Amino acid sequence: MSRQGPLLTLGSVVVVAGLFLYGNAVAAKPGKTPAAVPTPAATSSAAPASSAPLHALYAGRSSGDQVTIAIAINGKKAAADLNAGLASEVSLQGSVTGNLVTLTSSSGTRLTGSVSGADMFGTVSGFLGQSFPFSAAQAVVQAVYAGRSSNGDVTLAVSTDGDQAVAYVCNGHTIEAWLQGSVKGNQVNLAGNKGASLTGSLSGLAMFGMVTPSAGLSLPFSAELSPHPAGVFQARITVNGLATRIGWAVLPDGTQLGVAVIGSTKQPAPPLDLSDGAFTLDGSTFTAAQVAGNANVVSP
Amino acid sequence: MTSQPAAVRPAPDQYTKPLLIALLSGCLVALALGLYGGLHHPTHYALDIAGFSSPLYAKAWLTTIAVVFAVVQLVTGMRINRPDAPRAMTIVHRWSGRIAILLTVPVIIHCLYALGFQTYSIRVLAHCVLGCIFYGAFVAKMLSLVNRETMPKWVVPVLGGVVFVSLIGLWATSSLWLFATKGVHG
């Protein structure tokens, strides 16, 4: 027995590990289906309305590593950004057929890719006079969409993480709301306190919808998939003994709009240093943090 | 085991082969885990364990409990070979080890299956490397125990030490990090 003990221990570990691996392979379901491989049935007009378009984001690089590539797929539509550094960014639009993605830009850049599971492989031609192959992997969609209401009254930033999302919307002095909820397919549904809500749909690299920062005030908005420094930022501090929560919606150009709720009074948020999240209030320096899409912001 | 270690120490040819087999098996296991983690495409999802706010916290707590058992391992392991060690200590040592290693299995499967071998920060790289070392050392220790009568006395304590230290490292680079950055809760 004393000779077999260690082997039995080893064996039981292997068996348990095998069971877990098997359980994962068989039982676990992905949060979202690997992108954009519509079945032939989905292309027929008889496809039920419930087969919502799939939303997926692929991120990758050219084979030479010089060009970063972001491709967003929404059902049969797709959009992409190619970026080779400063001032050499190209946006492409196109479509998805089966597992093939074809995108073009007005300047003649062309991207073709094929989706294979969680990866996309393809070729880019006519980008800064060059053609090259690329590969991209499906990203866990941690993205920031930032924009404004159509009348410009409120600024908002939405942070997504897989099927979860949070948003901050404000007008910089009196109106503000924290929202959180889900991303299902290309539909975004967020809710906050006191009737605040946001419903949006993802289309290409943008999100369009209706935001209601407070009951009775509904505004159409558009937001773009935005790189750093865009995002939702938050700070919870104590000012003169009053619990204070400050939110900022930051646009990709660094424009920021925020509201500080000190106790129960609202005032414009202090400017946020986007390089390190620092801000000054009442002579003291504090730090704000970027809020991830899976954070709890409504009733934390 | 005895007051005359020099007399009991076996000639090298009695343990060289089993020891080499144990160590090489451990190395192969560590290598295999690393390769699987690196080559298998991470799925970013896996079976959840009920009762926790997220798979991350389930893993953090399982590892933490495993560390508690590992400390029991360390304490009993240091005394187990003394002549006056009670029989119960042997039993506690073996079972605390079995429980500890079994607790880590769901965690490593999640790590390997959903996340894979990643190198994007020092913490993550250290965690992945330690995970491979941990299981490799565990396998080597188990295999060396099979022939422990003929092994030199240092083999099992050294391998056990590697297992313990790597588990503490694993815990520090994952659970402790999670508790420190996201708070201590279920």
ipTM field: 0.81
Interface test with A, best of B113, B167, B181 (most A CBs within 10 A): B113
pLDDT reading at A64 higher than 50: yes
Is B143 in Cβ contact with A10 (below 8 Å)?
yes
pLDDT reading at A19 higher than 70: yes
Q: Does a structural domain hold residue B111? A: yes
Mean pLDDT of B27-32: 94
Nearest CA in chain B to A31: B45
Query: pLDDT for A115-137, tens place per residue?
Result: 776 678 888 888 877 788 888 88
Q: Does a structural domain hold residue B49? A: no
How does the average pLDDT of chain B come out, rounded? 85
Q: Does a structural domain hold residue B4? A: no
Give the gap in angstroms from C-alpha A88 to the nearest C-alpha of chain B: 27
Q: Does a structural domain hold residue B9? A: no
pLDDT the model gives residue A46: 32
Cα A88–chain centre separation: 23
pLDDT the model gives residue B126: 93
Residues of B in contact with A296 (CB under 8 A): none
Collapse the DSSP code of B128 into the 3-class scheme (helix H, G, I; strand E, B; otherwise coil) and give the result. Answer: helix
CB pairs under 8 A between A and B: 61
Residue type, A98: G
Q: Does a structural domain hold residue B7? A: no
Under 8 Å between Cβ of A178 and A192: yes
Of B163 and B40, more confident: B163
Domain assignment of residue B145, given as a range: 17-41+54-180
Is A140 in Cβ contact with B44 (below 8 Å)?
yes
Mean pLDDT of A219-248: 87
Mean pLDDT of B101-114: 87
pLDDT the model gives residue B49: 63
Is B47 in Cβ contact with A24 (below 8 Å)?
yes
Of B51 and A73, more confident: A73
Nearest to A13 among B47, B101, B113 (CB): B101
- pTM comes to 0.47
Residues of B in contact with A162 (CB under 8 A): 44
Under 8 Å between Cβ of B98 and B163: no
Nearest to B142 among A6, A20, A118 (CB): A6
Is A13 in Cβ contact with B143 (below 8 Å)?
no
Is B109 in Cβ contact with A20 (below 8 Å)?
yes
Is A20 in Cβ contact with B47 (below 8 Å)?
yes
Q: Does a structural domain hold residue B161? A: yes
Is B106 in Cβ contact with A30 (below 8 Å)?
no
Interface test with B, best of A7, A12, A15, A20 (most B CBs within 10 A): A20
Kindly list the residues of chain B whose beta carbon comes within 8 Å of any beta carbon in chain A.
41, 43-47, 94, 97-98, 101-102, 105-106, 108-110, 113-114, 138-139, 141-143, 145-147
pLDDT tier, B163 (very low <50, low <70, confident <90, very high otherwise)? very high
Is A9 in Cβ contact with B142 (below 8 Å)?
yes
Mean pLDDT of A223-231: 84
Nearest to A9 among B41, B46, B98 (CB): B98
Q: Does a structural domain hold residue B185? A: no
Give the gap in angstroms from C-alpha B157 to the nearest C-alpha of chain A: 15
Q: Does a structural domain hold residue B77? A: yes
Residues of A in contact with B185 (CB under 8 A): none
Lowest mean pLDDT, pick from A143-147, B10-14, B68-72, B134-138: B10-14
Total number of domains in chain B? 1
